[in-house]
Structure 1
Amino acid sequence: MKKRALGNTGIQISEIAFGGVEIGIPYGIGVKSEADMLTEADAIKLLHNALGHGINFFDTARLYGESERIMGNAFFGRRQETILATKCRHLRDSEGKIPPYAALNELVRTSLKESLRALRTDYIDLYMVHYADIDLLANEDVLNLFTKLREEGTVRAIGVSVYKTEETRQAIQAHVWNAIQLPFNLMDQSQGQYFNDAAQNGIGIIVRSVLMRGMLSDRRAKLHPALKDVETHLAKYRELLRAGFTDLPQLATKFALAHPEVSAVLVGIDKQAYLEDALNAVKGVYMDDDLLKEAQALAYPDPAFLNLAEWDKNGWL
């Protein structure tokens, strides 16, 4: 497993990041309840297998249920082998407002203490704002508080998790954050316009949604009729498999990693088979320049439509 720099932090992380949401809460295709999830023992075994195969970067969050606690149990005594990223509780109050500094400071520090206790560690490698919208990114209290945490040394690096391109632009312009976690895949390549700016500012890019909730895989059969154009477009990527890729997930993962500004690709892993798929995806070369350009030209023409949260609300997923 190759390692890449996390921006200018000096931290080296595996190209594949183990996404910990699936081991903590019911999440993903076909997972409706805890009965569909791994047992804790099996989750720990999977985490150990990932570490044994060279994955050292593990992503979780305070809001991912039991994920932090399970990772803490799995890596107790092996902390120096791992790079742990976690996210703070949401920073808005019950009315959707950003609290004043004193309350915000209490919220963040309490959340951090909870994460440290659950992960059984005394420091976090990368501590992130969970869903950093434009207002949070522009809030001086948020910037100052996370900067102070980094200066105090309890967290080595700070970052933000975003959804929209304007949020990525705002995060880069703040000149505060060490890393940005963002969605990027064959279908929706809109965030790619800021990759170079991030690299120029020493900011690491962590890509999530590389398989677009299973759309870029063989796990989904027929899509909802409202997504007919999406389904038609997805079929175009199979033409790229002629270049020797095993399947769509491998193609999608290699596509993201073919961008040198990307520090790691976050893969949700809750089965040994998914771990093996992720490991196989990083073997060999990524893409040559011609194939990369061809794949870039196949971005979905209306990325604004690719709103999976909205599709969920509409009952299309």
Structure 2
Amino acid sequence: MMKQRQFGNTGILVSPLGLGTVKLGRDKGVKYPERFTIPDDKAAGHLIALAKDMGINLIDTAPAYGNSEERLGTLLKGQRQDWVICSKVGEEYSDGGSSFDFSAKHTRFSIERSLQRLKTDMIDIVLVHSNGDDLDIINHEEVLTELNRCKQQGLIRSFGVSTKTVEGGLCAAERTDAVMATFNLDYRDEQAVIDFCGKHQKGLLIKKAFASGHLCQQSKDPVQASMDFIFSHQGVSSVIVGTINPQHLQENVAAVEKSLAE
């Protein structure tokens, strides 16, 4: 059973591996090397039960992940207390494309909609789904101010930014509770963000740990090599892995446990 870790200084405890759920709600416009079929409710339920049995308590979703939030609202019925839910604001996906809105009005609308879809009265972690203009979003848009207001009102427990740049990651870590950053064996540019989060006790989620499936082949066991690399850095709270394959999930958990045991 994986030992939970502090999510920065938020007081939230998260498993070192989190379950990403884009593949539960969307199969168009996603950057995976192989096509996949969205699992039905039975298969999705089995995947979530397996994750919980192995000690995973963090589940990651977003409005831009198709109907992922709505499905989780049903799939997690009766077990809300067992999960730390991370969702997002800012990006909308429809008709094969994304649009972005970081206004206070849309942020509030998105939070209230996510609460309804997820059938909960509070979301543990909310991240801004960046369009790549990280610094402009952080410094000039209304989204962070509105998220802070939602936090004060008890609608969310913590907030941060899913960034795409080093500068944005550092700025987000200074201004918010958490960052979601890209970090893997093939892409190490955001090392400074990882180090900053560790030094300043900020929540840090790692995305694209396997480069969205385009994993480098520098090792006979690239999954283990990836987890060893990521968890050698003290700042990491959890790695989000978006698999719908039970065997792959078990292998990921085993790799994380081995990395943290060494």
Residue in 1 aligned with 2:214? 215
Residue in 1 aligned with 2:33? 29
Which blocks of at least 5 consecutive residues in structure 1 are unaligned? 217-233, 242-246, 289-317
1:259 matches 2:233: yes
1:188 matches 2:187: yes
Write out aligned runs for 1:75-224 (5 A): 75-90=76-91, 104-131=103-130, 133-139=134-140, 141-173=142-174, 175=175, 177-216=176-215
The answer to which structure has the higher strand fraction is 2
Q: For 1:112, what is the secondary structure of its paired residue?
A: helix
User: Aligned-pair distance for 1:273?
Assistant: 1.4
Distance in structure 1 (CA, Å) of the matches to 2:100 and 2:63:
20
- Which amino acid is the alignment partner of residue 149 of structure 1? C
**Stretches of 4+ aligned residues off by more than 3 angstroms:** 96-99, 285-288
Preserved contact between residue 14 and residue 264 of structure 1 (Cα < 8 Å): yes
Identity of aligned residues (%): 29
- Which amino acid is the alignment partner of residue 38 of structure 2? M
> When the two structures are superposed, what TM-score results if normalisation uses the length of structure 2?
0.89
Preserved contact between residue 33 and residue 214 of structure 2 (Cα < 8 Å): no
Distance 1:66 1:256, change over 3 A: same
Q: For 1:85, what is the secondary structure of its paired residue?
A: strand
Larger Rg: 1
Q: For 2:258, what is the secondary structure of its paired residue?
A: coil
Q: For 1:283, what is the secondary structure of its paired residue?
A: helix
Preserved contact between residue 122 and residue 154 of structure 1 (Cα < 8 Å): yes
Write out aligned runs for 1:6-25 (5 A): 6-25=7-26
Write out aligned runs for 1:50-89 (5 A): 50-89=51-90
Which of 256, 260, 274 is the equivalent residue of 2:248? Answer: 274
Which blocks of at least 5 consecutive residues in structure 2 are unaligned? none
> When the two structures are superposed, what TM-score results if normalisation uses the length of structure 1?
0.74
Deviations along 1:118-155, whole A, 9 cap, x unmatched?
11111000011111622101126223211111111110
Preserved contact between residue 126 and residue 158 of structure 1 (Cα < 8 Å): yes
User: Aligned-pair distance for 1:252?
Assistant: 0.6
